[in-house]
Structures are given as C-alpha cells and as structure tokens.
Chains A and B, each alone.
Chain A
Amino acid sequence: DAKTTQPNSMESNEEEPVHLPCNHSTISGTDYIHWYRQLPSQGPEYVIHGLTSNVNNRMASLAIAEDRKSSTLILHRATLRDAAVYYCILRDVVSNFGNEKLTFGTGTRLTIIP
C-alpha cells in the first residue's frame, strides 16, 4: 500500500487559515490523493480529492505539488467545528468494480483555538 506521512497534531486559531501538509513520496501515476476527516464520535467524512491539479470545493482547497510527492489541505477560515483528525490517503482501486481500499494512516489531529 502506498503510504502517506502527516504531522501528528496541529493547532490553529479560529477564523484563520489552516494548512495541513501530507507527504506521499511513493505515489504512483494513477493514485488519487484523498482527504477525509473524522470528527469526535463520528465516522470519517470526505473532504476533497485530486490527481494533479489544485482543487477547490465548499469545504477546502487541495494544493498538489508539481511532482505529486506532497500535498496540502487548506481550510480557508477555520471554525471550532473543524476540530477533527484529518487523514491524507492515496486511493487504491483493487478491482474492476472500483472497490476502493482506503488505507488510513494516523492522521493529523487539528485543534482550533477560540
């Protein structure tokens, strides 16, 4: 399984941008970079994904390095509700049916300071 490396924890002030880094030096050409987050006592929640180009959605932005060996999840204006564990994952499709095998690492625990 392709591996990702993230800092164990980060803190940010409320209403400020947050940049969550992820290294994935062994990424292959067809691996998509996915980000999920897990709020306390909830299941993982999809945030964003991309392949080569930077991506934006209503939750966040994803900046992907040109060599694709790293990426950064950007929360433009953190709120207290963004406190969660954020997982950077390389999507591994294992069958013609498209069954996804998401290999979760330890993630980054994001604390938002009021």
Chain B
Amino acid sequence: DTAVSQTPKYLVTQMGNDKSIKCEQNLGHDTMYWYKQDSKKFLKIMFSYNNKELIINETVPNRFSPKSPDKAHLNLHINSLELGDSAVYFCGAGRYNSPLHFGNGTRLTVT
C-alpha cells in the first residue's frame, strides 16, 4: 500500500477553471502538508494541517483552499487557475520527530 497517495497524477486545464487535487495517507499520522515545486524545482511549503486544523499557511493566494474532511485526507482546491499555478504539487504526512512521507506529486499544467 502506498503511504501517501495523490490523485490525479497529471492535471491539464485552462486558465480560469477550478480544480481539486486529492490526497490520502494510511500512516495514521496527525499532520498533513501541501508543498509546491515550481519550474525551477524549488520545493516550498504551502499548508500544514494537524488533525483537520490549519497550522501553517505560507502566504498562499486565497484561490487555494485546502480541505481536510478527516485526518487521513487533505485535499487542495484551486479556484480561477492561472498560468503561474503550473507546478508539481506534493502532499505529505508526518508526526512529531518523525520523517515526512510524500506522495509522488500531481503535475498541474494550466494553459
């Protein structure tokens, strides 16, 4: 079983559309994350949730809205997609003083 799984793996859409990326973890960890890797390969944290509560929000535009229905899921909804949103988005899960586990990413392309 994959520890952290994301869907879809690839997402191609047009500017102005709304899309969601789903993430599920089967590790039983309390904390989940979204990271963004841009075209220059920089990985940057976007959000962190602990037990469905938002803990970290790194000045991400309001068009990005994470939703955590339970502690095993952290979905990312993006409204009014822009060209600059094109990137690879990684979901992660972890707990205190333990390694983070990442999914294999969702490559979002906005045309």
Contacts and interface: CB of A to CB of B under 8 A. Distances in A.
Interface stretch (A12-20, A65-73, A76-84, A99-107): A99-107
B105 A106 contact: no
A38 B44 CA distance: 14
A106 B50 CA distance: 27
A42 B4 CA distance: 12
Given A45-B102, A46-B100, A49-B99, A99 B56 contact: yes
Contact of A101 (B41, B48, B97): B48
Contacts, number: 65
Interface in B16-48: 30-31, 33, 41-45, 48
- Chain B: number of interface residues, binned into ranges: 20 to 34
B55 A95 contact: yes
Interface of A: 34, 36, 38, 41-46, 49, 85, 87, 93-95, 97-104, 106-107
Q: Ordered nearest first, which 8 A-B pairs have the shortest CB separation?
A: A98-B96, A43-B102, A46-B99, A104-B43, A97-B50, A99-B55, A99-B48, A43-B90
Given A42-B105, A43-B103, A99-B56, 4 more contacts: A38-B43, A95-B56, A100-B100, A102-B100
Interface of B: 4, 30-31, 33, 41-45, 48, 50-51, 55-56, 90, 92, 94-97, 99-105
